[in-house]
């Protein structure tokens, strides 16, 4: 980009500057006030997950994001149906376009960074429509009563028919709900502690894990509890099968049902606990660079470079990307409007689905789909004749390739997103060097110069960023392969542990800044 030349996105400023937004606080926000906003937003989030869309037929609704529901912080059929999907998808697109230099913005420039953020907000609005409209016209079915009442007003034919107006009402509700999520994220980011998106993910995953562990309702709620329809939760299911199965029955497949088979096998509970403990340990692994104040003698500190330096954001972005692959592949296969598209409509190699299923049965979408625990891939490999149906009839080689492809995509994709995230959030060597220098600190034994600091940080940050992305991607994929309770997914468990630890550390920083105002400048506070 030539010097002085501005991106074409500046032409959107008159529009993006008028979008509803949460204003930043003019001064310092006290810690108690921040925690109050976090609690209020969290309560409002749970309220929205229980406010169901007016006019929607819940019995005929198909959830395109069922396997990613916990990660996307949504609730099927509610105002939170889309969850954080549009927000994360908008972020992915902006990062890819800026990283590939398709959009020419210098994120080190404050003016360009403001344009980037305002354009991303506008793109989120577009993505809400892009994700809502295909679902409403394909899988979110208006109730017959609602449509019938509207047909009495608008008629049955034409663009403004009762059916189309019913769909418009549902799209409008999804739009309002999703934009409220976006504004709630801004409230937490500007007036609270941490990130609203992370808070919603942790809340949704924690709820899923709790219900998946202790739910005593049968797998099929329409039928009574029986040995073929045991309680859905891991602990009640295990107790019920042990109490109602003979020793011969346990040896003949009962132990496999308890330990490996969905829903919520015991190995999933053990795997969930193991992932929690392992991620908690890895989160504490870091390199600490010694710092000293240039003027205040004796004032020393440390700058920590965590092993998971890029946080869990790369996994969130990968989960959203794969969720969109799943959604559009299903639309291209099932929806009559999309099946007619040339080259891609109704093509088995993109992904094909069994009637009524939201999980791909083959094609590229199947290889990129999330494995749902050991029961979905290990049992079919060990005993194809008995458990082959759990892997949609694929042979052992295809199942093994599915595992390898999914693991590789998660690792490589997380590395790429980690590098983009570090550069777009001022966590790169140059930005950190400026931050340390502006706070009056320096590395003992080195000249106080941002260029010197940058060279020292370049020894660590780029390498740790790659390791960080690969590690979180591998952890999430391995956790998915082992399985988790409550269909929370390995990615969801990984995210929740990291989010809770970071939230705890953020609370600690806020308390330090409350007691020592001089630290606010270093931590980026007001």
According to the model, what pLDDT value does residue 355 have?
81
Angle (CA) 502-506-508 rounded to 5° is 120
Backbone φ, ψ for residue 502 (5° rounding): -65, -35
- Which tokens hold the place of 104? 């020419």
The answer to whether the CB of 54 falls within 8 A of the CB of 167 is: no
Q: Look up tokens 């007003």; give the residue.
A: 153
Residues 6+ apart with CB under 8 A from 176: 79
Query: CA 455 to CA 445: how far, in whole Å?
Result: 14
According to the model, what pLDDT value does residue 1 have?
45
* pLDDT mean for each 10 residues of the chain (526 residues): 66 84 82 91 92 88 74 85 87 78 77 85 91 84 88 76 89 93 90 86 88 90 87 92 86 82 87 86 82 63 82 82 85 83 88 84 91 84 81 88 94 92 81 78 71 84 92 90 84 83 83 65 52
According to the model, what pLDDT value does residue 44 have?
93
- Within 13 Å and on the Cβ side, how many CA atoms surround 446? 19
Q: What number of residues does the chain have?
A: 526
* Closest to 370 in 3D by CA, of 467, 488, 256, 254: 488
Q: Look up tokens 């409509």; give the residue.
A: 345
Query: CA 448 to CA 452: how far, in whole Å?
Result: 7
The answer to whether the CB of 73 falls within 8 A of the CB of 88 is: no
* Residue 295: how many other CB atoms lie within 10 Å: 6
Query: Which helix (H) or strand (E) segment is 442 a member of?
Result: strand 441-442
Backbone φ, ψ for residue 292 (5° rounding): -135, 150
Collapsing DSSP to helix, strand or coil, 379 comes out as helix
* Closest to 146 in 3D by CA, of 65, 47, 60: 60
Instruction: Please tell me what DSSP assigns to residue 52.
Output: B
Q: Name 287's bridge partners.
A: 305
Query: CA 406 to CA 383: how far, in whole Å?
Result: 22
Query: CA 387 to CA 227: how far, in whole Å?
Result: 19
Which residue ranges form the domains of the chain, and what is each CATH number? 29-200 (1.10.3370.10), 283-499+509-526 (1.10.3370.10)
- Which tokens hold the place of 132? 């809502």
Instruction: Please tell me what DSSP assigns to residue 264.
Output: S
Strands 441-442 and 286-293, bridge-based pairing: antiparallel
Query: CA 337 to CA 136: how far, in whole Å?
Result: 13
Backbone φ, ψ for residue 311 (5° rounding): 60, -155
* Residue 410: how many other CB atoms lie within 10 Å: 29
The answer to whether the CB of 74 falls within 8 A of the CB of 205 is: no
Collapsing DSSP to helix, strand or coil, 157 comes out as coil
**CB-neighbour burial class of residue 243 (10 A; exposed 0-12, middle 13-18, buried 19+):** exposed
According to the model, what pLDDT value does residue 2 have?
45
Report how far Cα 256 is from the mean position of its chain's Cα atoms: 31
Full-model pTM: 0.74
């Amino acid at each position: 980009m030539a010097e002085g030349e501005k991106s074409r996105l500046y032409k959107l400023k008159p529009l993006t500057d008028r979008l509803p937004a949460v204003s930043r606080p003019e001064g310092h926000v006290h810690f108690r006030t921040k925690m109050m906003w976090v609690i209020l937003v969290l309560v409002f989030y749970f309220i929205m997950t229980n406010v169901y869309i007016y006019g929607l037929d819940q019995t005929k609704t198909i959830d395109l994001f069922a396997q990613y529901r916990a990660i996307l912080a949504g609730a099927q059929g509610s105002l939170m149906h889309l969850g954080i999907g549009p927000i994360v998808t908008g972020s992915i697109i902006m990062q890819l376009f800026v990283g590939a230099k398709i959009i020419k913005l210098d994120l080190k420039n404050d003016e360009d960074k403001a344009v980037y953020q305002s354009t991303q907000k506008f793109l989120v609005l577009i993505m809400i429509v892009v994700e809502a409209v295909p679902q409403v016209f394909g899988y979110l079915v208006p109730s017959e009563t609602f449509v019938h009442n509207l047909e009495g007003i608008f008629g049955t034919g034409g663009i403004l028919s009762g059916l189309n107006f019913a769909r418009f009402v549902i799209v409008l509700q999804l739009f309002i709900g999703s934009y409220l999520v976006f504004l709630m994220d801004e409230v937490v980011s500007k007036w609270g502690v941490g990130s609203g998106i992370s808070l919603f993910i942790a809340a949704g995953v924690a709820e899923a894990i709790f219900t998946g562990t202790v739910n005593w309702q049968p797998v099929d709620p329409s039928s009574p509890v029986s040995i073929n329809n045991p309680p859905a939760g891991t602990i009640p299911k295990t107790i019920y099968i042990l109490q109602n199965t003979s020793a011969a029955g346990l040896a003949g497949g009962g132990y496999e049902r308890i330990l490996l088979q969905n829903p919520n096998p015991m190995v999933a509970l053990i795997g969930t606990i193991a992932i929690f403990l392992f991620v908690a340990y890895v989160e504490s692994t870091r390199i600490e660079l010694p710092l000293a104040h240039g003027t205040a003698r004796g004032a020393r500190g440390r700058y920590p470079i965590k092993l998971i330096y890029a946080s869990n954001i790369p996994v969130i972005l990968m989960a959203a990307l794969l969720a969109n692959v799943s959604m559009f592949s299903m639309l291209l296969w099932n929806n009559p409007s999309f099946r007619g598209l040339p080259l891609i409509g109704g093509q088995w190699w993109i992904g094909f689905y069994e009637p009524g299923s939201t999980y791909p049965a083959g094609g590229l979408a199947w290889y990129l789909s999330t494995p749902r625990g050991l029961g979905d891939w290990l049992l079919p490999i060990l005993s194809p004749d008995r458990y082959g149906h759990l892997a949609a009839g694929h042979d052992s080689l295809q199942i093994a390739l599915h595992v390898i492809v999914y693991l590789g995509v998660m690792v490589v994709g997380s590395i790429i997103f980690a590098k983009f995230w570090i550069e777009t959030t001022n966590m790169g060597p140059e930005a950190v060097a400026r931050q340390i220098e502006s706070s009056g600190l320096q590395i003992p034994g080195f000249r106080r110069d941002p260029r010197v600091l940058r060279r020292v940080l370049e020894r660590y940050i780029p390498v740790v960023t790659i390791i960080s992305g690969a590690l979180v991607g591998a952890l999430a994929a391995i956790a998915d392969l082992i399985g988790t309770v409550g269909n929370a997914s390995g990615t969801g468990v990984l995210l929740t542990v990291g989010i809770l630890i970071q939230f705890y550390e953020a609370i600690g920083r806020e308390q330090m800044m409350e007691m020592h105002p001089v630290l606010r400048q270093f931590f980026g506070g007001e």
